[in-house]
Structures are given as C-alpha cells and as structure tokens.
Homo-oligomer: A and B are copies of this chain.
Amino acid sequence: MSGDEDIITAWFARQSKLSANDYSIGIGDDMAAIHFRGGDILVTTDMLIEGVHFDLQSASLHQVGYKAMAVSLSDCAAMATVPVGAVVAVALPKGYGQKELKELHGGINDAAVKYSCPLLGGDITKWKATGGLCINSTITSRGGGGAPVLRSQANSGDVICVTGQLGGSGLGRHLNFEPRVKEALRITGLAKLNAMMDISDGLSTDLSRMCKASGVGAIIEAAQIPISQAAQKREDPLDSALNEGEDFELLFSLSAAQCQKLQHLWSGPVEITQIGQMTKNAEIVLKKADGSSEPLRQGGWDHL
C-alpha cells in the first residue's frame, strides 16, 4: 500500500507530458534531467521545515543550513552525479535578521565547500504571521562519467545493497550526515549498477518505491541489515533501521557478478552490505533471523 505522497506524485507524473529527448528523467526519481548541448543537467529541490525536519531546541541554525544542502546533495549521490551549484531560499520567523542568516549561511557554506557545490544565489523572505523556519535547497548536478543511475531499472535476481548503517538518525545523525556523493561515483566507477536511490524516508518505504518503479519485488534478510549503533538505543533497533528514515545512505541493485566485483574492489571506510535480492514476484518480503518471513510493512515517512 503506497502512502498519500506516492499517490499524488504518481498523479503529477501522469499529468506531465515531457519529451524524452529534452527531459530524459522527469517526475518521480531523485532528480530530473534537462538535455543541454548533448549532455544532461540534473536538478533536485528539497524543502525542510521547522518541527518536521529539524527542531530549533536541539539543532543550531548552522546545522539546519548544512542539512538543507546535504539532503539535496544526497539526491545527487542517489543518481551518481556531480553537484555543480546550489540556490537556497528561506522563510524566516519573525524576529530573525542578519545574525540568523549568517549562522544559516555558515552551515550552507560548510556543505558547499566540502562537496564542491557553491552557493550561487537564493531568496529571503520573512513571515508576517506566526510561522516556522523554512529552508529550500535546489542543487544542479551533471553526469559523473556514466549516465545517471535511475531507481526504475532494477532487475529480478539483482543483489540489493546499502552503504553505511541504518536507523537512529533522529538521535543526531540527521543533522550532520555525509551525503554519499563520492561513494556513489566510486561505486559506479567500479561496477555497473541497475538502480540506485538514497534512503531518505526509511528503507522499507524507499525500497518499495524502487521495486514499484522497476516492476519487481524483493526479499530482504533482516539479519543482514546493517543496524547503526544509534538504532541500538531505540526500543526496536530493526524497526528503526527499516522505518525511521533520514539515513541518507545509498540503496542500490546490481547483478550478482557485478556485486562480487564491487565487493572485491571496494575498500572502506564506508561499508557496502548485501541485504537481499530483487524478485519477480511483486511482493516485498522480510526474512527474519528465525527463518520465518513476513510482508515488509512500509513504515517509513509519508510527508502527507
């Protein structure tokens, strides 16, 4: 069962009548692609709002600025593309001014420097009525050697992998995670991927999106899922790894032979873990440590 967000996204995609020559990737993937001078320019936009994506009791404005950039950079990673520039718009709560803007800018700039993705412009506005901080980042990228990796080309029989560890992001990592831009480019330089996306709304929900887009199913081995130390502090660590979201790790699918090659050539520090396999059957199944199986519940974020 898809969430409301997926239903409306699918509706938007159906309204869209893009020429595939001019726009090779449209609504529904991590980034859209615009054909320009024989190449593709890709674009992604992400809106973060107070009380949903951050809480100003626990997050600094510097962290909020960093996160806004990092979330969009993670979309660049999701397609193995190279970030080239960012524009950032903000709606400020009443009482905010230059001091707060400079703190936000500090975090934006940290990410911009670290990921070679300069801030090119933006827009500033301020609520007249009560309203929380809202920050929107739009990042443009270019292909990273190969074609951008879609989420829709996974094949039945593919091995499913993730980078890093999952779960517990809400305990702090969601504010300082490192988008896997370099890792995505290294991985696609070493092996041919069939599909990739980033895990923003939780493995359960995002894997289901990849499967739906690709017309396949999946079996995930619970015992193989790399559960983070932070997730161990949650009441149900496996549930956190599957559903908490904001991991911003990569989820990808490739043939067994390519996966073997990748694992052979890969050297850390970010781990790559095989967690299951794509199947012909449209179901997504979680195989538990005790050998029993159950349908994987999509317990991740639905923004509607």
Q: A120 contacts which of B34, B90, B124, B127 (Cβ < 8 Å)?
A: B34
A109 lies within 8 A of chain B by Cβ: yes
A46 lies within 8 A of chain B by Cβ: yes
Asked whether, in the complex, the Cβ of A131 is within 8 Å of the Cβ of B132, the reply is: yes
A122 lies within 8 A of chain B by Cβ: yes
How many copies are assembled? Answer: 2
Query: For residue A50, which residues in chain B have a CB less than 8 angstroms away from its CB?
Result: 129, 131
Asked whether, in the complex, the Cβ of B36 is within 8 Å of the Cβ of A37, the reply is: yes
In the bound complex, what is the Cα–Cα distance between A48 and B126 (angstroms)?
10
Assuming the contacts A97-B304, A127-B52, asked whether A87 and B32 have C-beta atoms less than 8 A apart, the reply is yes
Query: For residue A87, which residues in chain B have a CB less than 8 angstroms away from its CB?
Result: 32, 43-45, 138
Interface residue stretch chosen among A10-18, A158-166, A170-178, A210-218: A10-18
Query: For residue A142, which residues in chain B have a CB less than 8 angstroms away from its CB?
Result: 36
A74 lies within 8 A of chain B by Cβ: no
Assuming the contacts A52-B127, A304-B126, asked whether A120 and B26 have C-beta atoms less than 8 A apart, the reply is yes
Interface residue stretch chosen among A98-106, A257-265, A291-299: A98-106
Considering the complex, give the chain B residue whose CB is closest to the CB of A49.
B91
How many of chain A's residues have a CB under 8 angstroms from any CB in B?
Answer: 72
Query: For residue A97, which residues in chain B have a CB less than 8 angstroms away from its CB?
Result: 4, 304
**Closest-CB distance, A300 to chain B (whole angstroms):** 14
A114 lies within 8 A of chain B by Cβ: no
Assuming the contacts A43-B138, A47-B90, asked whether A27 and B121 have C-beta atoms less than 8 A apart, the reply is yes
In the bound complex, what is the Cα–Cα distance between A97 and B49 (angstroms)?
17
In the bound complex, what is the Cα–Cα distance between A45 and B303 (angstroms)?
22
In the bound complex, what is the Cα–Cα distance between A32 and B119 (angstroms)?
10
Query: For residue A225, which residues in chain B have a CB less than 8 angstroms away from its CB?
Result: none
Q: A18 contacts which of B45, B89, B118 (Cβ < 8 Å)?
A: B118
Query: For residue A192, which residues in chain B have a CB less than 8 angstroms away from its CB?
Result: none
Considering the complex, give the chain B residue whose CB is closest to the CB of A101.
B8
A134 lies within 8 A of chain B by Cβ: yes
Asked whether, in the complex, the Cβ of A304 is within 8 Å of the Cβ of B44, the reply is: no
Considering the complex, give the chain B residue whose CB is closest to the CB of A30.
B121
Query: For residue A119, which residues in chain B have a CB less than 8 angstroms away from its CB?
Result: 12, 16, 27
Asked whether, in the complex, the Cβ of A120 is within 8 Å of the Cβ of B89, the reply is: no
A282 lies within 8 A of chain B by Cβ: no
Q: List 10 A-B contacts (CB under 8 A).
A: A8-B102, A9-B124, A23-B85, A32-B85, A45-B138, A46-B89, A47-B89, A47-B91, A51-B127, A126-B304
Top 4 closest pairs, chain A to chain B, by CB: A32-B120, A47-B89, A37-B37, A138-B138
